[in-house]
Structure 1
């Protein structure tokens, strides 16, 4: 009876569902287009599963993984104590690249402007995202820690046999472990926490500011190019007119005399090149903002799923604790936990992988943006 009630409350999933082989077809033409089948070309596809697999096999991913997973095998069993905040700051300095010091040094030489403020805000937001990822990685560590005894219990209990196979000693041990698990807090932040909401809001607002500045910068570059082109046409017309009027004079010498100082003016001006450099920085920051905003959405969904899974396990365990040390409820609760725990471990690994991927994306975007800043400074220093 209890087993039927538990199945109704939380559906069991005894095996991990394989990741789907997602293939996205490219955009097709409209239905009004008529194309003979003999000349139709196969549309290219994007295999997301393969792309994900390749992403977690890159050297940058492996480097991040090794930095946040020390070689000590007892690392996962460490309690996170009073020195957690200081340890987290040290790990952030160790993982974040380019570091805050490198960024500050580059921005010190930049003239205060809207562009500088936008770039500085991007670096701050990406650093805050890295800090959030480290906190979530600590949540993964806590989850492995609080499930350690429970997992060992599920491994030794004879759950495939009759409940009467459980000994009084095993029932007492299971009850004590259930009681200990129930007293522990959920290691993951609740879905309504402000961490993700505030971070996504910051990136959303920053993206709007970047897009606004990008539009203004592109418009200015177009105006400058148009003005340069018009000026060049006028100058060339002037040179031709002077040459025709002075046909009896040494025309070649006159052309050289008139066109010499004028032709450089029709080349792209210094202000256009500088605006293009600013445009490259804005574009790098906008791309980084877009990628990190999407990464946060994915990680948020993974965290919400794990939080819900822990709460579901707590609910099951409370049902068992209400019925005392009797072998029948303990046997049913343990069987349900065994089914859900397999998927929980899979989701835990998914979150860990996405945290590392997010770190890699942050470092890659920061490096590209800082490279654009250094390139601009070297040109106009």
Structure 2
């Protein structure tokens, strides 16, 4: 089935945002569109993570529901385990590659925003000095001197803080996804140990019991880690919208 478009959850909406930027009365820092585009990509990637979590949870439930009691016959057990072990790992290297792409988008953006914000702060400081000098002659002139530099400093500051926080969020989630992917591969290795075992009837029951014990022990912990990742993804969605609104408030 087609994956839902999670970018529809963005606030403000991308089309409304584009309209505001086009109609802005003052010139905006060139990095702001880059920031909004990066958050758009981040939102889409969070959506793909939601789908990966859903798939991993379904697979885990099927694994435990399809695994019978230890004294069951081997043949249906083996067939079920082999089928489940061949399913795509939703937290495979391709998912980690997506994290790397997000990091490659945000990491340089954060550095550029911080650099631009510091430059804007210096310009605002110089403008303050000029404004103090101008205030001896006309108060209105002082405000006119300061205004554009103050706007740029506020806009870039909000974008830099937001991008930095999101970059940290993705670093954390990347580590969590890597661990979950490793656990899925470990489960597959345990299954392979059982399905590749010989047909010795005496050892068969013992092996099946060991596999059942291993999967039961790891299954609950795995589901808890999935729930923890899901909470982080939900939090990241909220942070994306919060940072977008913060920057938007400095534009309008």
Report the TM-score, using the length of structure 1 for normalisation.
0.61
Count of aligned residue pairs for this structure pair:
248
1:207 maps to 2:121: no
1:329 maps to 2:207: yes
Q: Which string of whole-angstrom CA distances, capped at 9 and with x for unpartnered residues, describes residues 279-332 of structure 1?
A: 111111011101100100111011111100100000000010111563222221
1:358 maps to 2:236: yes
1: CA distance, partners of 2:95 / 2:230: 21
Q: How far 1:212 sits from its partner (Å)?
A: 1.6
Cα RMSD for the two superposed structures: 2.1
Partner residue in 2 for 1:149: 62
Partner residue in 2 for 1:369: 247
1:340 maps to 2:204: no
1:152-301 aligned at under 5 Å gives the runs 152-154=65-67, 157-158=69-70, 166-168=71-73, 171-190=74-93, 193-232=96-135, 235=136, 262-264=137-139, 268-301=142-175
1: CA distance, partners of 2:43 / 2:198: 44
Q: How far 1:218 sits from its partner (Å)?
A: 1.0
More helix by share: 2
Which contiguous aligned blocks of 4+ residues in structure 1 show a shift greater than 6 angstroms?
none
Q: Which string of whole-angstrom CA distances, capped at 9 and with x for unpartnered residues, describes residues 167-221 of structure 1?
A: 32xx333212111112211111328842111211211111111112112211111
Partner residue in 2 for 1:124: 37
2: CA distance, partners of 1:210 / 1:183: 44
Give 5+ residue unaligned stretches, structure 2.
none
Whose Rg is larger?
A: 1
2: CA distance, partners of 1:92 / 1:292: 16
Q: How far 1:111 sits from its partner (Å)?
A: 7.0
1:91-102 aligned at under 5 Å gives the runs 91-93=6-8, 95-102=9-16
Q: 1:230 to 1:270 in 2, by over 3 A?
A: closer
Q: Which string of whole-angstrom CA distances, capped at 9 and with x for unpartnered residues, describes residues 106-137 of structure 1?
A: 1112379670x211111110110111111011
In the alignment, is the contact (CA less than 8 A) between 2:96 and 2:178 conserved in 1? no
1:107 maps to 2:12: no
Give 5+ residue unaligned stretches, structure 1.
1-80, 159-165, 236-261, 375-381
Q: Secondary structure at the match of 1:268?
A: helix
2: CA distance, partners of 1:366 / 1:328: 57
Q: Secondary structure at the match of 1:280?
A: helix
Q: How far 1:231 sits from its partner (Å)?
A: 4.6
Report the TM-score, using the length of structure 2 for normalisation.
0.91
In the alignment, is the contact (CA less than 8 A) between 1:175 and 1:324 conserved in 2? no
